[in-house]
């Protein structure tokens, strides 16, 4: 029987191609290959660990016929588990967080899985986190098994047995650097263990996200909660230390920003014809940032975890990219000013009564105003500042603006790109100021920018 004929879809997992990167790094003399994991049937590297965790659980008597498999996943591991479950006859419930792409969730549901979406911006210990919800479901549902890819060592064992040997054989043992975006740690640790057993000099580079704890923990041994904050990259970085991460096998971590990873993923598609996922962009960007450490003769292999089709409404969507300041539409601040039907600047002075300012806000529908005195910008005032100040004592409306005045809105150049201005806006800072060529002040609010995006 031909090796291209299989008894079921699970037999097609693995043996993914190594593809040379030819034009993405024109100034790098090293040879760079991508291990393109979207050739797996579930279009991601996680197919490898899905079947491994299930079969190990079966062999240990932890998973019985007709049981329910539970897993916390960013989508890809769920896909691998779902495929294996269909073939083996299990039910699936997946918990995930609300930053994952809609495409991933729809794919899981298309395979018959139940998907529970949990908030991203909570600690792992929070009862609402996708870790905690998965554990709770496992405790409540009879004949269920929680894979727990973060701490399940079958995860890294899968890569020790498959990914590592494949790369070693494909490079004929000449690999010098292995580059991997790190999430659960299974891919990097299992593969690194195999590679370093054959050549201790192979460099293992882990890619981390800003908002994740891996890099600092590797360098200092300190778990610093101050490093943790929300970010957009999917499947890269963590706010916990998974048991699958073997830090001793990893030579360094390099942090990559959400923006740089997204732009690089799009560049990879357009320059090399490889339509890969968001984390794949971070792998390529990591090489870009570390390229000075590479030399002629080096053989670099980077993992491309999944397919770009799962990010069509995110990384590969111009509106999503522009909304986050990752792309420029070409518009400048002056274009927003010129598009306004009324460019008259509504402003107040420090000695104006709050009562009069509140009336002005009501009449104009403008919720924030700059504060000027004798032509000089002194500060800003927002309707929320007034309301909080007078709450419970309306007599304070007789006080003057300087009692609640905040810092001035930032002043930006008239020809500055809109995508850069977006970064300056926040709840605390809902507007910016600019001056036209005649020296006249103008205000641009969050509403103005939103309207601009829809024009």
- Residues 364, 400 within the same domain: yes
What's the rounded mean pLDDT across residues 238-260?
Answer: 96
What's the rounded mean pLDDT across residues 9-36?
Answer: 96
- Residues 216, 178 within the same domain: yes
- Residues 165, 269 within the same domain: yes
- Residues 166, 245 within the same domain: yes
Lowest model confidence (mean pLDDT) among 210-224, 280-294, 441-455: 441-455
pLDDT digits (tens, 9 = 90+) for 165-174: 999 999 999 9
Tell me whether residue 251 is in a domain.
yes
Of 146, 170, 196, which residue is a domain's last?
A: 146
Tell me whether residue 2 is in a domain.
no
φ/ψ of 418, rounded to 5, equals -60, -40
- Residues 169, 280 within the same domain: yes
Tell me whether residue 1 is in a domain.
no
Local confidence band at 2 (pLDDT 50, 70, 90 cut-offs) = low
CA dist 268 and 277 (Å) reads: 10
Using DSSP bridges, classify how beta strands 177-181 and 299-304 pair: parallel, antiparallel or unpaired: parallel
Local confidence band at 453 (pLDDT 50, 70, 90 cut-offs) = low
- Residues 124, 87 within the same domain: yes
Using DSSP bridges, classify how beta strands 68-72 and 31-36 pair: parallel, antiparallel or unpaired: unpaired
Task: Give the residue from 144, 227, 217, 210 showing the smallest Cα distance to 185.
Answer: 217
**Domain tally for the chain?**
3
What's the rounded mean pLDDT across residues 143-167?
Answer: 96
In this predicted structure, what is the pLDDT of residue 157?
A: 98
- Residues 168, 284 within the same domain: yes
Tell me whether residue 151 is in a domain.
no
Of the spans 93-107, 133-147, 336-350, which averages the highest pLDDT? 133-147
In this predicted structure, what is the pLDDT of residue 404?
A: 93
- Residues 239, 283 within the same domain: yes
Do 26 and 289 form a contact (C-beta atoms < 8 A)?
no
CA dist 281 and 259 (Å) reads: 10
pTM above 0.85, yes or no: no
In this predicted structure, what is the pLDDT of residue 436?
A: 84
Q: What CATH number corresponds to the domain at position 166?
A: 3.40.50.1100
- Residues 312, 356 within the same domain: no
Tell me whether residue 207 is in a domain.
yes
- Residues 390, 308 within the same domain: no
What's the rounded mean pLDDT across residues 51-60?
Answer: 96
Residues assigned a catalytic role: 46
Helix (H, G, I), strand (E, B) or coil at 400: strand
Report H helices in 171-230: 186-198, 214-220
Local confidence band at 163 (pLDDT 50, 70, 90 cut-offs) = very high
Of 290, 323, 356, which residue is a domain's last?
A: 323
Tell me whether residue 209 is in a domain.
yes
Tell me whether residue 174 is in a domain.
yes
**Residues in the chain, how many?**
455
CA dist 66 and 388 (Å) reads: 58
Q: Return mean pLDDT, the chain.
A: 92
Q: What CATH number corresponds to the domain at position 372?
A: 3.10.580.10
In this predicted structure, what is the pLDDT of residue 356?
A: 92
Local confidence band at 416 (pLDDT 50, 70, 90 cut-offs) = confident
- Residues 102, 210 within the same domain: no
> Residue 11: pLDDT above 70?
yes
In this predicted structure, what is the pLDDT of residue 320?
A: 93
Of 146, 170, 190, which residue is a domain's last?
A: 146
- Residues 164, 296 within the same domain: yes
pLDDT digits (tens, 9 = 90+) for 419-429: 778 888 887 78
Percent of the chain at pLDDT exceeding 70: 98
Cβ neighbors of 253 (< 8 A, separation 6 or more) are: 182, 205, 206, 207, 208, 214, 215, 218, 219
Tell me whether residue 152 is in a domain.
no
pLDDT digits (tens, 9 = 90+) for 71-98: 998 789 999 999 999 999 999 999 998 8
Question: What range defines the domain where residue 312 resides?
Answer: 9-42+157-323
Using DSSP bridges, classify how beta strands 144-146 and 68-72 pair: parallel, antiparallel or unpaired: parallel
Locus of tokens 């000013």: 337
In this predicted structure, what is the pLDDT of residue 1?
A: 45
Local confidence band at 178 (pLDDT 50, 70, 90 cut-offs) = very high
């Amino acid at each position: 029987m031909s090796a291209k004929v299989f008894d079921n879809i699970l037999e097609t997992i693995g043996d993914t191609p190594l593809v040379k990167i030819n034009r993405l790094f024109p100034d790098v003399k090293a040879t760079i290959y991508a291990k393109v994991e979207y050739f797996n049937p579930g279009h991601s590297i996680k197919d490898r660990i899905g079947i491994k965790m299930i079969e190990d659980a079966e062999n240990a008597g932890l998973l019985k016929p007709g049981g329910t498999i539970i897993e916390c996943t960013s989508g890809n591991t769920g896909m691998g588990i779902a495929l294996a479950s269909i073939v083996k006859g299990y039910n699936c419930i997946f918990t995930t967080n609300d930053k994952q792409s809609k495409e991933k969730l729809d794919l899981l549901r298309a395979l018959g899985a139940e998907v529970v979406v949990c908030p991203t911006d909570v600690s792992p210990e929070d009862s609402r986190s996708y870790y905690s919800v998965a554990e709770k479901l496992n405790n409540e549902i009879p004949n269920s098994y929680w894979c727990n890819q973060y701490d399940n060592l079958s995860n890294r064992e899968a890569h020790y047995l498959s990914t590592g040997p494949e790369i070693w054989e494909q490079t004929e043992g000449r690999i010098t650097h292995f580059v991997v975006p790190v999430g659960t740690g299974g891919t990097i640790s299992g593969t690194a263990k195999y590679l370093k057993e054959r050549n201790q000099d192979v460099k293992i580079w882990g890619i981390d996200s800003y908002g994740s704890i891996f890099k600092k923990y590797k360098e200092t041994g300190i778990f610093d909660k101050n490093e943790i904050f929300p970010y957009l990259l999917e499947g890269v970085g963590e706010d916990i230390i998974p048991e699958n991460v073997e830090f001793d096998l990893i030579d360094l971590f390099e942090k990559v920003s959400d923006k740089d990873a997204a732009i690089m993923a799009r560049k990879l598609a357009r320059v090399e014809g490889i339509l890969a996922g968001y984390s794949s962009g971070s792998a390529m960007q990591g090489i870009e940032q570390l390229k000075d450490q590479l030399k002629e003769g080096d053989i670099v292999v980077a993992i491309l975890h999944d397919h770009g089709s799962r990010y069509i409404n995110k990384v590969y969507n111009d509106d999503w990219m522009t909304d986050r300041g990752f792309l420029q539409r070409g518009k400048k601040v002056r274009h927003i000013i010129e598009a306004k039907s009324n460019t008259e600047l509504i402003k107040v002075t420090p000695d104006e009564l709050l009562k009069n300012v509140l009336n002005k806000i009501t009449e104009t529908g403008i919720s924030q105003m700059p504060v000027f005195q004798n032509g000089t910008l002194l500060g800003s005032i927002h309707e929320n500042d007034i309301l909080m100040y007078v709450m419970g004592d309306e007599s304070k409306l007789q006080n003057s603006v300087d009692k609640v005045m905040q810092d001035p809105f930032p002043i930006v150049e008239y020809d500055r790109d809109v995508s850069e201005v977006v970064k300056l806006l926040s709840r605390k800072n809902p507007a910016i100021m600019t001056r036209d060529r005649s020296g006249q002040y103008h205000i641009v609010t969050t509403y103005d920018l939103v309207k601009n995006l829809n024009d």
